[in-house]
Amino acid sequence: MTNSTERPGRDHLQLQQSEAVWEETEVTSRYATEAELETLGYKGPVLVTQVIRTTFRADGTPIGKTLTLQGGSTALVMHRSPHDVEDEETYAGSDEPAPVSYGLVSRPVRTYLVGVEGSPQTKIGRTTGTLKSRVSQLQTSHHAKLLPLLDVEGDYERALHEQFASYRMRGEWFDLTPLGDPVTVIIAALAELGLPIRAGLDMGLTDGPCNASQSNGTGCPALQLGRRRSGWTVRRDVLRQRGHRA
């Protein structure tokens, strides 16, 4: 007689785990959706911790993705097939607007660009924490040094993924070097998406909005560093390493 409590596909999942070489983990906190509240068995606003773990083979091929939702003392684990691990649209429910109550305020989402030392790969992702903490999380599953390149307040991840889909290497990793320097390529793309970016006055550039037409489609040549009106940050030390004039 079949045990009704046995989880389907368990043997298949264990086989995939044995093939895993490295794992990428992302941890965020947010309010539970109505469907999650029902599954977790809670009522009212509940702050949940969301842990997304993606396992890869040595060649970078994704094997599987696991989503764990921890609310109170109850954990809900969802397993996804390798076909679903290409982007975070699999977890559309996590993008639903969270209710704000009891004086609690949701943490703002930031879109970031991270590079790999000695590699053309760059990661376009999103986080509700700091870029420094996100890079620290990613570094645990990478042998090469990760370089924080740029972060901006706002959720532009999906739009950027769609725009550069033909340059995708795997998951959230892209090779944008055919278009130019990845940092300036992303900055130009953000400008086209409506982010108010102004050229740096101290760099001898025109005082005006930067767009793709000014840089022949390869991104803005150089921009003001630090958080100002647009709420974005470019890492000055990394720009020096990549040959930019600070």
Tell me: pLDDT of 165 over 60. Answer: yes
pLDDT at 216: 31
Tell me the mean pLDDT in the region 178-190. Answer: 90
Higher pLDDT, 96 or 164: 164
List CB contacts of 62: < 8 A, sequence separation 6 or more.
Answer: 54, 55, 56, 82, 85, 86, 170, 171
CA angle 150, 61, 241 (to 5 degrees): 30
Dihedrals phi, psi of 159, to nearest 5 degrees: -65, -40
List CB contacts of 109: < 8 A, sequence separation 6 or more.
Answer: 126, 127, 128, 153, 154, 155
Alpha-carbon torsion (126, 129, 130, 135), positive or negative: negative
pLDDT at 72: 58
Range of lowest pLDDT (43-52, 106-115, 133-142, 170-179):
43-52
pLDDT in tens, 64-114: 887 776 765 554 544 445 444 444 433 434 444 444 334 444 567 888 999
End-to-end Cα, the chain, rounded Å: 70
pLDDT at 197: 61
Q: What percent of the chain has pLDDT over 90?
A: 12
Tell me: pLDDT of 10 over 50. Answer: no
pLDDT in tens, 204-223: 333 343 333 333 333 333 33
pLDDT at 160: 93
pLDDT at 18: 53
Does residue 108 contact residue 168 with C-beta atoms inside 8 Å?
Answer: no
Dihedrals phi, psi of 41, to nearest 5 degrees: 85, 30
Tell me: pLDDT of 38 over 80. Answer: no
Tell me: pLDDT of 32 over 90. Answer: no
